[in-house]
Amino acid sequence: MSSILGLDVGEKRIGAALANTIARIASPYLTLANTDTVLDDIRGIIERESVELVVVGLPRNLSGEDTDQTRYCRQFAAQLESFAPIVFQDEALTSRKAEAELKARRKPYDKEDIDSLAATYILEDYLTTQRNF
């Protein structure tokens, strides 16, 4: 069975979520430290989980314009293109939404939990808008 990988790319951490291509239900997978080995780590996930597509969250400012972080995400995603096809999905406020949900659960959480849940929202948004994949 193949999967779709969602990524919330940050300069310190990268949240990851997975959905299989049949059930199309996204769930948090893990959070990676954005170190020199992160591309190898992501390639390992792609191979291990039979990933057919990587959905990268694309941050923009509130006016919808590109920012330095937008450019960073595009450059990062370009490095992944040799591993799997890449698409971008707007990630407007996904980290804030993730943090609000985790606070509402009233259980301890950390920044890694926020990142992987934000990646889940990015992947869910993609799956909702792309019925044909």
Domains defined for the chain, CATH in brackets: 3-129 (3.30.420.140)
At 17 the three-state DSSP class reads: strand
Token output for 47: 């191979």
Q: How many CB atoms lie within 10 A of CB 123?
A: 31
Strands of the sheet containing 51-58, edge to edge, are 27-33, 13-20, 3-9, 51-58, 86-90
User: Alpha-carbon distance 99 to 48, whole Å?
Assistant: 29
Please state the separation of Cα 1 from the chain's center in Å.
20
Q: What is the pLDDT along the chain (133 residues), one digit of tens a residue?
A: 799 999 999 999 999 999 998 888 999 999 999 999 999 999 999 999 999 999 999 998 878 788 899 999 999 999 999 999 999 998 877 777 787 878 788 787 788 888 899 999 999 999 998 865 5
Per-residue model confidence (pLDDT) at position 12: 96
At 30 the three-state DSSP class reads: strand
| Number of residues that make up the chain | 133
